[in-house]
Chain A
């Protein structure tokens, strides 16, 4: 038996120059998590993200409810992106139960998913703005988000947690005259977010602050397993809507936004470009959608899987590729549901990005990773 302590308990040598800061969980710039940063003067020498403050056991809860009852609580990890976070689960259950989805329902899902992506990114952008001290960029997206939330309310009946996707289609058909209203709202929304460039993205101070900070190289981005806007900002052309099209994305013309810089600015600009692309996708989907038809297959009550079966489905959410692994053992409840969330993957890159940065860059680099603490903790 040796006297050596395990690595976690070993006392580290304390350097008097180093100051340890607990950024969070009670800090305006942290979200529901803690980042332990060690600073030498104004430079960060080490950073240790500490998530887990909002763990709610969503995966364990899913084992006690049947496939339909799992829908409302599985979207809780990211209520602003609730359609997208539910999407892989619904796709997986459909494959498990062998359900064929009507064509119109697929288009409705795509529209709802893209609208929800915009709603999420607007929320993210608002917080990114206030993290950089730009209070106008906090208020404008938070206000313009309402436009799409109203649209989702017309569509699903709920403003934030929609629970709209069900195995076999969507819960309700579109309200009458929805196509015109949606087109009008989306066109106005696009015009509005293009105005953000003048006040935020082309702002010289913003560019000077976020250019060349927290640079994530292409190799590192792939090595850390980052996804979504972080990966695309590092020059990897990877978008599941194009690489593994689900539902009707293969019939739509999806353009992937890629930037090569891999810095904080690129990571903040890619979601904004994604929103513009989402507007295009919604317009295409509205055009191609069948004007009438069923949107939902009638299911048997309490559907069961066929014996032991596993399925893994993933979609491109507002933050990146979001996967759902479902194991069925023939009972009405799933044996295991595992969410593979993009937030946690993106957080892996944070210690590497912050090392050597200035303390003033910490909020912008941290939030540019498109990280949502509640989703990472599940």
Chain B
């Protein structure tokens, strides 16, 4: 990420900014103010706190932090915010978009290429947006013999399931969409849906290559779910809980990867297989079966599946962080919120802004936790992406052999290590923590 796009000029950039500001002012004056006048003319306004609420008064309140901050804070406490924005879909989609960009640039550097470069002035940073627009504007072609309702539903279901998976991941203390007591079991239940959706999509396309790809995906996901679940049992035994928030909180002094490295390795490999990443991308092996179960998907249906795939990637990386790398725990690096801002406000010469009774929007622990969680997740995602540059694809029989013999055996080794630590009294209830 060294070079700046060749036709980037600071003067032109400033000029474009000024242009935009000019148009905004023009539109506000010519359209916005007359619109407000018309509203005032037509609608009967309510009286709040003894004042007639005009649009101008509403705008004044919007600009007043002491009135708007409690509203924002109340909104952030709602479920809608949690599901749509912060620990849920929006946050995950943002990280997923970043992942796609970083993956493309990283692969390009590894393969002595440039990667996305022209779209968005600086290093092709808007390439993803361009690709998304392209996918949206493309025609959706449905095969004539496809089972249409299921074929239509499969990509949407895929994204929905991936988003449900995201909901289980605790990002910071108390910041999780679904804080269920049996969180880990819920995660397994959600993961169990992916092969069903895949085979439904593949079968309903009524085409040969998607069918083979779907069967391969089914083989792969089902046979790797067993080592996936077994490799996590060690953590569950030592923690004594299935709640993901509690598992993350239990690692305040050390992450479980220190004691259960075997489980972490098994989980990482099964994670690659569940995500269909190289070297386990057999369901999408393009030189054998075109694009596998994605072959007949076109336009935004394909885009939805890609979005779901990257949401799943984020969710798996987050799960790895929560279970083995200590979740949100980490040294406190975020500075505390300045207390005088709440009482006195900011004094700027003659003007005093505040005080702001609604602040802080986020607590210090939450910011610190989210920071560490994101850092660790990004690191794990980096290591998930890395094999793509180094390994070729493996074969179905090698994959099944790996899953059913080696990984299950190693997962049992991990369980025995956990049991040994538990009975020796080193860890667990009454142990170190």
Question: Which residues, 131 to 147 on A, are CB-close (under 8 Å) to B?
Answer: 131-140, 143
Chain A residues with CB under 8 A of B391: 134, 203, 205
A219 CA to B311 CA in the complex, in Å? Answer: 54
Minimum C-beta distance from A206 to chain B (A): 5
Minimum C-beta distance from A232 to chain B (A): 23
Question: Which residues, 181 to 218 on A, are CB-close (under 8 Å) to B?
Answer: 199-200, 203, 205-206, 208-209
Tell me the count of chain A residues lying within 8 A, CB to CB, of chain B. 32
Q: Known interface pairs A140-B111, A208-B394, A361-B395. Does A135 touch B389 (Cβ–Cβ under 8 Å)?
A: yes
Question: Which residues, 272 to 298 on B, are CB-close (under 8 Å) to A?
Answer: 278-279, 281-282, 285-290
Which of A3-11, A21-29, A289-297 lines the interface with chain B? A21-29
Minimum C-beta distance from B219 to chain A (A): 10
Interface check B339, CB cutoff 8 A = no
A139 and B278: CB pair below 8 A? Answer: no
Q: Known interface pairs A358-B395, A360-B395. Does A133 touch B111 (Cβ–Cβ under 8 Å)?
A: no
Mark contacts of B89-101 with chain A using CB atoms, 8 A cut-off: 1 yes-contact digit, 0 otherwise. 0000000000000
Minimum C-beta distance from B394 to chain A (A): 6
A133 and B208: CB pair below 8 A? Answer: no
Interface check A42, CB cutoff 8 A = yes
Minimum C-beta distance from B392 to chain A (A): 4
Chain A residues with CB under 8 A of B395: 209, 358, 360-361
A19 CA to B208 CA in the complex, in Å? Answer: 8
A28 and B286: CB pair below 8 A? Answer: yes
Which of B209, B287, B289, B395: most chain A Cβ within 10 A? B287
Chain B residues with CB under 8 A of A362: 288
A209 and B390: CB pair below 8 A? Answer: no
A362 CA to B393 CA in the complex, in Å? Answer: 13
Q: Known interface pairs A133-B278, A139-B112, A203-B391. Does A358 touch B396 (Cβ–Cβ under 8 Å)?
A: yes
Chain B residues with CB under 8 A of A130: 287
Interface check B12, CB cutoff 8 A = no
B287 and A205: CB pair below 8 A? Answer: no
Question: Which residues, 357 to 392 on B, are CB-close (under 8 Å) to A?
Answer: 388-392
A192 CA to B389 CA in the complex, in Å? Answer: 17
Smallest Cβ-Cβ distance to A21: which chain B residue:
B208
Minimum C-beta distance from A12 to chain B (A): 18
Chain B residues with CB under 8 A of A19: 208
Interface check A36, CB cutoff 8 A = no
Q: Known interface pairs A205-B279, A209-B395. Does A140 touch B388 (Cβ–Cβ under 8 Å)?
A: no
Interface check A102, CB cutoff 8 A = no
A359 CA to B215 CA in the complex, in Å? Answer: 13
Chain B residues with CB under 8 A of A21: 208-209
B285 and A360: CB pair below 8 A? Answer: yes
Chain A binding surface SS class: helix
A361 CA to B396 CA in the complex, in Å? Answer: 10
Q: Known interface pairs A29-B286, A359-B212, A360-B285. Does A133 touch B396 (Cβ–Cβ under 8 Å)?
A: no
Interface check B19, CB cutoff 8 A = no
A208 CA to B392 CA in the complex, in Å? Answer: 11
Chain B residues with CB under 8 A of A132: 287, 392-393
Smallest Cβ-Cβ distance to A213: which chain B residue:
B395
B288 and A29: CB pair below 8 A? Answer: yes
Interface check A51, CB cutoff 8 A = no
Minimum C-beta distance from A42 to chain B (A): 6
Smallest Cβ-Cβ distance to A362: which chain B residue:
B288
Chain B residues with CB under 8 A of A29: 286-288
A29 CA to B292 CA in the complex, in Å? Answer: 13
Question: Which residues, 85 to 136 on A, are CB-close (under 8 Å) to B?
Answer: 129-136
A363 CA to B389 CA in the complex, in Å? Answer: 20
B111 and A136: CB pair below 8 A? Answer: yes
Minimum C-beta distance from A26 to chain B (A): 9
A359 CA to B394 CA in the complex, in Å? Answer: 12
A139 CA to B112 CA in the complex, in Å? Answer: 7
Q: Known interface pairs A132-B392, A135-B111, A205-B279. Does A28 touch B398 (Cβ–Cβ under 8 Å)?
A: no
Q: Name the 3 nearest CB pairs between A and B, nearest first.
A: A133-B393, A29-B287, A139-B111
